[in-house]
Amino acid sequence: MGAGGRMQVSPPSKKSETDNIKRVPCETPPFTVGELKKAIPPHCFKRSIPRSFSYLIWDIIIASCFYYVATTYFPLLPHPLSYFAWPLYWACQGCVLTGVWVIAHECGHHAFSDYQWLDDTVGLIFHSFLLVPYFSWKYSHRRHHSNTGSLERDEVFVPKKKSDIKWYGKYLNNPLGRTVMLTVQFTLGWPLYLAFNVSGRPYDGGFACHFHPNAPIYNDRERLQIYISDAGILAVCYGLYRYAAVQGVASMVCFYGVPLLIVNGFLVLITYLQHTHPSLPHYDSSEWDWLRGALATVDRDYGILNKVFHNITDTHVAHHLFSTTPHYHAMEATKAIKPILGEYYQFDGTPVVKAMWREAKECIYVEPDRQGEKKGVFWYNNKL
């Protein structure tokens, strides 16, 4: 892997795939955040209200068209054809709504406009529509960005050390076990994280729940806004209840529920693959610093979905370095910093399904390098 940023994966062999992937540098980089920022054209940091709204409105129009087609024409289809039409609607609608989720996520980073109140208003409306507590997740996600790659303080997808693997871990380290774990992760992982902090960092002093204003995730200045997030979720739930009362539960599930499951699945998949890779280091408190942690992420290629997801998939390294950059400038910003990042820039073009399975197989826990590297630097392993 050179300045071009693509990981060189050796042909398959009998060795673990992890052994065939070159680790990225874990030493202090020879560049600073200031040097990276200077390399990016200044206009990339400018937020445009008309342009930001244009992407949001376009997504809403497309989602509305899918809904109109489904409500108007699906009932007219011969019975066997509906078995093909509904999965197509679910997949397409789920992808478009994931794009809406990404724009609301940008609002939480203050990347939508120059006005915090506008960002929070748009983010609250559209995250609530997707049953995400906007302010609650905004604050926990901000702490993820502040502590990426830290084994002690990162918020989510923090890898376990080998000593923390449960006794039943070795029984899940097989194709059937991985299939079950991935299925649960991509269907229930997001709501379980929000409600019970599953896969999140451990907290002392209370129930770590994104819907609980007094949860230890938040400080006193943030608690009022957690109530506002909950109010947004309750308002949408009431709207769904009224819809189901009129149109029926089956209609609500088909038009909204299943696409929402797909949104949740994509959210977990995207985040998982951004922060889980055999080449990525993690750090304990003796080695961690913000820049090395931010660089311990990887860009992926989702094909045409890169555009549907507003490039959150293939510009994630730049996003962690400069999270207020609007998504419509992220590709240009990534291109500008790649020559400076060199081997510190990580891109993996492995097909998503193959990468998902490989990471589930290879990235079971982390441990210090056995060849005498710094003890505070941890790498993935899978030998139980």
Q: What's the pLDDT tens digit per position in 202-238?
A: 888 788 999 999 999 999 999 999 999 999 999 999 9
Number of domains in the chain: 1
* Rounded-to-integer distance, Cα 223 and Cα 202, Å: 19
Asked whether residue 20 is assigned to any structural domain, the reply reads no
Asked whether residue 64 is assigned to any structural domain, the reply reads yes
User: What is the pLDDT, as a whole number, of residue 206?
Assistant: 80
CA 295 to chain centre: 16
Looking at the whole model, is its pTM more than 0.95? Answer: no
Local confidence band at 373 (pLDDT 50, 70, 90 cut-offs):
low
Contact 179, 361 (CB under 8 A): no
* Rounded-to-integer distance, Cα 135 and Cα 240, Å: 21
**Tokens 């311990």 correspond to what residue?**
296
Structural domain including 359 reads 33-381
* Rounded-to-integer distance, Cα 342 and Cα 22, Å: 14
CA quadruple 17, 19, 22, 27: dihedral, nearest 10: 130
Asked whether residue 56 is assigned to any structural domain, the reply reads yes
CA quadruple 106, 100, 257, 248: dihedral, nearest 10: 130
Asked whether residue 189 is assigned to any structural domain, the reply reads yes
Asked whether residue 227 is assigned to any structural domain, the reply reads yes
Whether residue 6 has pLDDT greater than 50: no
Asked whether residue 15 is assigned to any structural domain, the reply reads no
CA distances from 93 to 60, 65, 268, 270 (A): 10, 10, 17, 17
